[in-house]
Amino acid sequence: MRIAVGGFHIESSTYNPALSTEADFVIVRGPGLLDAPAFSFLAGFDAEFVPTFFARAVPGPPIARPTYDAFKADFLSRLQQSGPIDGLYLALHGAANVEGMDDAEGDFAAAARAVVGPTCPISISLDLHGNVSQKLIDQIDMVSAYRTAPHIDVERTMAKAVAMLMRSVDEGVRPVVCWCPIPVVLQGERTVTTAEPGQSLYARLPDIEDGDGIWDAGLMVGYVWADEPRVSAAALMTGTDRRRMETAAAAMGQAYWDAREEFAFGMPVGSTEECIAQAMASPTWPVFISDSGDNVTAGGPGDRADMLAALLAAGASDVIVAGIVDAPATAAAYGVPLGSEISVRLGATLDPAGSSPIELSAHVVHRLESDVAAEREAILAIGSIRVVVTARRKAFTTRSDFARLGIDPEPARIVVVKLGYLFPELAPLARPALMALSEGIVDQDVERLPRSRTPRPTFPFDRSFAFTPAVRWSARA
């Protein structure tokens, strides 16, 4: 059995004024794909996997059109040269946006379908924070989406998409896909699967699957920081029993709709100033503060210095700010001897219209040794406040992100991260965790963001309307 593998993966905020280019992606081509950690799970399958092209970037701005066109052309060329294949697996996200294009995943899958033809089965995996379109659904035969947020089932989801594809080929059975759009789009920070009602909703999915008529049941919460026509939550079903699939999709759609008012932030929230004051008064530490409006993992630039300015104004001490992307400040830190004092204008380098920089003097206390300018990171000390500056966008989500800079977050009183909810490695360290409802292009107050292309009515932008689940089928059904 020969299975081709490829795809691309990014979550794109349409409110981010910059563009993602090839330099923002980690790209694997040809045989290198099979050696990539993200695809190590393929070694557990008894099949010949034919690697093509895969590009992945941290969440960020839309992809520049020339970059996307080059990615797609590279992928299609390799797919065309793959020879006879029995199936195609695409690792996708669901919330990619391309300059001048709303539905990148739908376009990518349609181009792949044109190459492999109508009889080749295609299976895909998606992030539950993706937005689904009919165009995408019409190209595929199987789909599996993450069921956890924070995401701890990425590899399991990808493996399931591959397993369904191999089952289809082995058994000569062609499953179909249906979906139920739900006119709700909420923040990922409100829809975590470790708290109610998300926990109970996602706990229903395994019981829907019977291994026969319904192969996979999924629930997408969508991606709220995109203003485009496909924005919505959705229930997804893959299987062969159309009656049961339709019933299950409609039931999950209704259940999500009924729970829409119950979703809440899974941690205490407040203004930037309120969170700082609470952290400074806390008898336990480290207190983690999420600078949520500039959350890099949701597509924020990561360049805002507002939180640092507020910390300085409040007289906070023993603080780690991880981090602020500022290529000029990082370059300045590498241009002087370690321990030197430098004057920098910090912040607002990627989105200068969105915030204001601050001018300060700081000592360069640590640098990550790298000959590659884009990979450089440094620590600037302003009194007892340590600020990590990076040459390119970076999210600090694991302990190793701190350790590689010689930082231990546990003894600090306050640790600021440009996240929303804390990732699994950091959450146990927080005593407590707070989320600042700070301003930014991934503002948690989503109702104050401009909406011109999102379908209406959609909750929470509209509230006084009725919803009746309507299940839609893939054209391949």
The whole-number average pLDDT for the span 3-13 is 98
Of 244, 289, 226, the closest CA to residue 435 belongs to 289
Pairing of strands 48-56, 122-126: unpaired
What's the CA gap between 125 and 39, in Å, rounded? Answer: 13
Q: Kindly state the greatest CA–CA separation across the chain.
A: 70
Helix (H) or strand (E) holding 207: helix 205-208
pLDDT at 116 over 90: yes
User: Using an 8 Å Cβ cutoff, are 386 and 320 in contact?
Assistant: yes
User: Using an 8 Å Cβ cutoff, are 394 and 378 in contact?
Assistant: no
What's the CA gap between 233 and 187, in Å, rounded? Answer: 11
**Paired tokens of 57:** 């970037």
pLDDT digits (tens, 9 = 90+) for 134-192: 999 999 999 999 999 999 999 999 999 999 999 999 999 999 999 999 999 999 999 99
Of 105, 22, 20, the closest CA to residue 301 belongs to 20
Of 470, 458, 467, 465, the closest CA to residue 250 belongs to 470
DSSP state of 360: E
pLDDT at 201 over 90: yes
Helix (H) or strand (E) holding 273: helix 272-281
pLDDT digits (tens, 9 = 90+) for 387-430: 999 999 999 999 999 999 999 999 999 999 999 999 999 999 99
User: Using an 8 Å Cβ cutoff, are 24 and 8 in contact?
Assistant: no
Q: Which residue's entry shows tokens 């059904």?
A: 477
Q: pTM of this prediction? A: 0.95
- Give me the pLDDT at residue 211, please: 82
Helix, strand or coil, per DSSP, at residue 177: strand
Which segments of 81-137 does DSSP mark as H helices, in order? 104-116, 134-137
- Give me the pLDDT at residue 22, please: 97
- Give me the pLDDT at residue 134, please: 98
- Residue extents of the structural domains in the chain: 2-263+469-473, 269-443
pLDDT at 92 over 90: yes
Sort residue 80 into left (φ over 0), alpha (ψ -120 to 50) or beta: alpha
What's the CA gap between 447 and 124, in Å, rounded? Answer: 32
pLDDT digits (tens, 9 = 90+) for 234-260: 999 999 999 999 999 999 999 999 999
- Give me the pLDDT at residue 336, please: 97
pLDDT digits (tens, 9 = 90+) for 258-287: 999 999 998 999 999 999 999 999 999 999
pLDDT digits (tens, 9 = 90+) for 438-468: 999 999 999 989 999 999 999 999 999 999 9
How would you list the strands of the sheet with 176-182, edge to edge? 214-220, 233-239, 176-182, 472-473
Percent of the chain with pLDDT over 90: 98
- Give me the pLDDT at residue 53, please: 98
- Give me the pLDDT at residue 429, please: 98
pLDDT digits (tens, 9 = 90+) for 10-56: 999 999 999 999 999 999 999 999 999 999 999 999 999 999 999 99
- Give me the pLDDT at residue 167, please: 98
